[in-house]
Amino acid sequence: MTKLKVGIIVGSTRIGRFAEFPAKWVAEVAGKRDDVEVEILDLADYPMAFFGEERATTAQTETAERWKKKLRELDAYVFTVAEYNHGPTAVLKNAIDLGEFIHKPVGFVGYGGVGGARAIEHLRVIFVEMSAASVKTGVHISFPEYLTVVKGEKSLSDYTHLNEAANAQLDQLVWWGNALKAARTA
């Protein structure tokens, strides 16, 4: 079976960010499956200017091209979603504006006061405009769960319902990913 290529995008570049926990955990969950191969894409490794920025350096412009090229190699995407003032992080929104997701599925793993739900709902609408397909299941890491991980008391993998949600999301990404891949190449 050909494995679907899934990019896990670390959606916060804040020093001391939580985002690395869900990214590594989803990669771990995906690593136990035989239908996906994952790659973590850290936005910290893609320092890009704001879209259309007049003073963008050559390095920033080249990085934006590298970002788009990397996205094109993948068939589906999972985003870690921090909620900043009820929306997604600016660095993630900019990376989306600079990216390309046409006819590919996207899934979200949020965290925060309400499991990142408000930021995720923004992203679902944003991705409609990007001609992407947002899968039904969102993974929402609740604030008490977030705190146990921050304090080092637990890992995300200790939560059965989160593992189940992550696998349900991956199931949907695989279904849509394979269907859309076939349609893209037809």
Which stretches of the chain bind ligand FMN, using CB under 6 A? 12, 14, 17-19, 82-86, 112-113
> In 17-68, which ranges are E strands?
36-42
The Cα 84–Cα 122 span in angstroms is: 12
CB of 24 to ligand FMN, least distance (A): 13
Q: Which is nearer to ligand FMN, 149 or 180 (CB)?
A: 149
CB of 139 to ligand FMN, least distance (A): 14
CB of 16 to ligand FMN, least distance (A): 7
Phi then psi for residue 115, to 5 deg, are 65, 25
CB of 119 to ligand FMN, least distance (A): 7
Q: Which is nearer to ligand FMN, 82 or 132 (CB)?
A: 82
Q: Which is nearer to ligand FMN, 22 or 177 (CB)?
A: 22
Q: Which is nearer to ligand FMN, 58 or 85 (CB)?
A: 85
Residue with smallest beta-carbon separation from ligand FMN: 112
Which strand (E) or helix (H) includes residue 68? Answer: helix 58-72
CB of 20 to ligand FMN, least distance (A): 8
Residues 6 or more apart whose Cβ sits within 8 Å of residue 21: 149, 155, 156
Q: Which of 67, 1, 77 is nearest to 39 (CA)?
A: 77
Q: Which is nearer to ligand FMN, 111 or 176 (CB)?
A: 111
Burial of 151 (0-12, 13-18, 19+ CB in 10 A): exposed
